[in-house]
C-alpha cells in the first residue's frame, strides 16, 4: 500500500504524526493508498523551511523567478497526461476533464510568467522642489493555500504561481481525498529549478488547517471550499492578523429565454450540469426556464441527460465519472429522493446506477428535476453532484429577481438571441461572474475569479490583478537628493508640495 507523504524543504517528509487516511479509487471503491495526516508540528516544520527560503527567494531577481515559471509551465505541458491520470484515479473525473483543469491552471502560470509588466511601479518627478516619489510592491512572506478536492491541480494553480512569482514562499494544504497531484506538482517545481523550501505541501484535516490559520509565521491564507468553512477560515485567520482570500459555495443559475436556440442551450447546460459529475463550484445546478421555453427545454434536456455516457474516468468515451466518495454518492441520491418527496418531478432518475465491471464504484447517473420551487431543499442546498433542477419563471425580470434572492452569487448564465435582454441581465443580476450563451463563465487568468454574497467571504477574489495585490503590499518612497553643500530649509509645519 502506497503512503503519500508531505513535501517539505524540497523532498518527501513522513511527518511527525502516525495518523493516516485511506485514499480511494472512486471508480472501483477500492482503497489505493494511505495519506499521512499532519498537524501543528508538521505545519511548523514547513513554515520554518519556507521562512528560511523566503530570505533568499524574496531577494531573487524578477528574471530568475520568471525563468522558473517558464520552466514549470513547460513541465506542466510535458507531464499533462501523467498528471491527468493521477487526478482521474483519485478524484474520478475523466482524464480529458482532468487535462482541462490542468490547462486552465497552466494559464495562471503563463500570467505569472509575465509579471514583469504587471509589477512595474510608478514615478512622479519633481512633486516638490527637488523631491520625487515612486512606489513598488514587496512580497508578504510565507503564504498558504487550503484547497478542495474537486480541482486538485487547478485551484492550487490559481494561488501558488502568483504567490511564488511575486517573491513569497508557499505552503499548500490540499484535500486529503485526492492528495497526489500536489506532490507531483512539487516535484515539477523542483525540476524547474525552484529552490528548496519555496513550495511545501502538508497533508491533513482540520488539525492542519487550524495550525495554518493560527500560525504566526503565515502572513496570508487562500481558501476555496464550502461557505461555512470559508466563513470559519476568514474569521479565524483575520483574527490572527492574516490576509484572507475565502471563496465559498454556489448555486449557479442558467436562464433560458424563449428566443434561445434550445438545442444549443441544452447542450451547454447539460455539460455544465453533469461535467465532472457536478462537483464544480461553477456547475450549472439550476436551469431557469422562462415562459414558453419551459416544456420544450425540459424535453431536450431529458434526452441529453439520458445520452450522457457514465463510466470510469480512464475509459474511452466516458463523459461523466463517479463521485469522489461513497458518502458523496449517498448524499446526492438522498437529495433526489428528498426532492421527489417535496413535490418535484423526477424527469430523469440517476439513482442506483451500476457500471459493469465497476459495481462497487461511487457512480450515480445524471438526474433531472422539474417543477422545483425555491422552497425545496434541492434548490436551496449546494448538492455538488449531477443533479439539474428546473425552475420556471414567467419573465426575465422574474428570473433576475429569483437569482438575486438566492444567498449565493458565484456564477450565472443567460441563453438568448437578444442583445437587449443580455445587457439588462448582466447589469441587474447580483452575481460576480456572468456568462452570455456561456454556461460556465470562469474568467481567464488575467481577470480575477470571485463571486458575490455568500460565494465570497471578505473582498479578495483570486488570481489575476487581485491576486497580485493580495500577495504583495506597496511601498511609497519620497526622496530628495540635494546638491553638495546645498542648504535646504526644514520646516516645523506639515510638509507641502511647495
Distances (CA, A) of 68 to 62, 183, 197, 198, 281: 10, 18, 14, 12, 31
- Asked whether 476 and 170 are in contact (CB, 8 A), the reply is no
Task: Determine how β-strand 123-128 pairs with β-strand 30-36.
Answer: unpaired
CA distance 202 to 183: 10
CA distance 165 to 169: 9
Given CA atoms 232, 234, 237, 238 in this order, what sign does their dihedral have?
negative
DSSP symbol at 44: H
Three-state SS string across 61-104, please? CHHHHHHHHHHHHHHHHHCHHHHHHHHHHHHCCCHHHHHHHHHH
Q: Give DSSP secondary structure letters for 122-175.
A: -EEEEEETTEEEEEEEEE-SEEEEE--SS-TTHHHHHHHHHHHHTT-EEEEE--
Beta bridge partners of 436: 414
Question: How far does CA 146 lie from the centroid of its chain?
Answer: 10
**Closest of 1, 445, 4 to residue 186, by C-alpha:** 4
Helix axes 206-214, 227-239, angle to 10 degrees: 40
> Cα torsion at 204, 69, 247, 286 (round to 10°)?
-110
**Closest of 274, 316, 320, 308 to residue 92, by C-alpha:** 320
Please report, for the chain, how many H helices and E strands are present, in that order: 16, 23
Catalytic machinery residues: 281
CA distance 473 to 151: 28
Distances (CA, A) of 144 to 51, 160, 168: 12, 8, 10
CA distance 192 to 194: 6
Beta strands in 380-432 (DSSP E): 387-393, 408-409, 411-415
Amino acid at each position: 500500500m502506497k503512503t503519500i507523504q508531505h513535501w517539505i524543504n524540497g523532498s518527501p517528509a513522513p511527518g511527525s504524526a502516525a495518523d493516516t487516511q485511506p485514499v480511494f479509487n472512486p471508480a472501483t471503491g477500492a482503497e489505493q493508498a494511505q495519506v499521512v495526516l499532519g498537524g501543528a508540528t508538521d505545519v511548523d516544520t514547513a513554515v520554518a523551511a519556507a521562512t528560511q527560503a523566503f530570505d533568499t527567494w524574496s531577494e531573487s531577481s524578477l528574471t530568475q523567478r520568471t525563468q522558473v515559471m517558464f520552466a514549470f509551465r513547460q513541465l506542466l505541458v510535458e507531464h499533462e497526461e501523467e498528471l491527468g491520470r493521477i487526478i482521474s484515479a483519485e478524484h474520478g473525473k475523466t482524464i480529458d476533464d482532468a487535462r482541462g483543469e490542468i490547462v486552465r491552471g497552466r494559464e495562471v502560470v503563463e500570467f505569472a510568467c509575465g509579471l514583469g509588466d504587471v509589477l512595474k511601479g510608478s514615478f512622479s518627478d519633481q512633486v516638490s522642489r527637488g523631491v520625487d516619489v515612486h512606489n513598488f510592491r514587496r512580497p508578504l512572506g510565507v503564504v498558504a493555500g487550503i484547497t478542495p478536492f474537486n480541482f486538485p491541480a487547478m485551484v492550487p494553480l490559481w494561488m501558488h504561481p502568483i504567490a511564488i512569482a511575486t517573491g513569497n514562499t508557499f505552503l499548500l494544504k490540499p484535500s486529503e481525498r485526492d492528495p497526489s497531484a500536489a506532490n507531483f506538482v512539487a516535484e515539477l517545481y523542483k525540476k524547474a529549478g525552484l529552490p528548496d523550501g519555496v513550495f511545501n505541501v502538508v497533508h491533513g484535516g482540520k488539525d492542519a488547517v487550524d495550525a495554518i490559520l493560527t500560525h504566526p509565521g503565515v502572513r496570508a491564507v487562500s481558501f476555496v471550499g464550502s461557505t461555512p468553512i470559508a466563513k470559519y477560515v476568514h474569521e479565524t485567520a483575520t483574527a490572527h492578523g492574516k490576509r484572507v482570500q475565502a471563496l465559498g459555495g454556489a448555486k449557479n443559475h442558467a436562464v433560458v429565454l424563449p428566443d434561445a436556440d434550445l438545442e444549443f442551450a441544452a447542450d451547454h447546460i447539460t455539460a455544465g450540469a453533469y461535467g465532472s459529475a457536478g462537483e464544480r463550484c461553477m456547475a450549472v445546478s439550476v436551469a431557469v426556464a422562462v415562459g414558453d421555453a419551459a416544456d420544450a427545454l425540459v424535453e431536450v434536456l431529458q434526452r441529453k441527460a439520458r445520452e450522457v455516457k457514465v463510466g470510469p474516468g480512464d475509459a474511452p468515451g466516458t463523459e461523466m465519472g463517479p463521485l469522489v466518495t461513497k458518502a458523496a454518492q449517498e448524499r446526492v441520491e438522498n437529495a433526489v429522493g428528498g426532492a421527489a418527496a417535496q413535490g418535484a418531478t423526477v424527469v430523469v432518475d440517476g439513482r442506483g446506477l451500476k457500471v459493469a465491471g465497476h459495481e462497487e464504484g461511487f457512480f450515480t447517473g445524471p438526474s433531472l428535476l422539474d417543477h422545483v420551487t425555491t422552497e425545496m431543499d434541492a434548490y436551496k442546498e449546494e448538492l455538488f453532484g449531477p443533479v439539474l433542477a428546473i425552475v420556471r419563471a414567467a419573465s426575465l425580470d422574474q428570473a433576475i429577481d429569483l437569482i438575486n434572492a438566492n444567498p449565493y452569487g458565484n456564477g450565472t448564465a443567460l441563453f438568448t438571441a437578444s442583445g437587449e435582454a443580455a445587457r439588462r441581465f448582466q447589469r441587474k443580476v447580483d452575481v460576480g461572474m456572468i456568462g452570455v450563451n456561456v454556461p460556465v463563465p470562469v474568467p481567464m487568468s488575467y481577470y480575477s475569479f470571485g463571486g458575490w454574497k455568500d460565494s465570497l467571504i471578505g473582498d479578495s477574489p483570486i488570481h489575476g490583478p487581485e491576486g497580485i495585490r493580495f500577495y504583495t503590499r506597496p511601498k511609497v518612497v519620497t526622496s530628495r537628493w540635494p546638491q553638495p553643500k546645498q542648504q535646504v530649509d526644514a520646516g516645523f509645519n506639515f510638509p507641502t508640495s511647495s
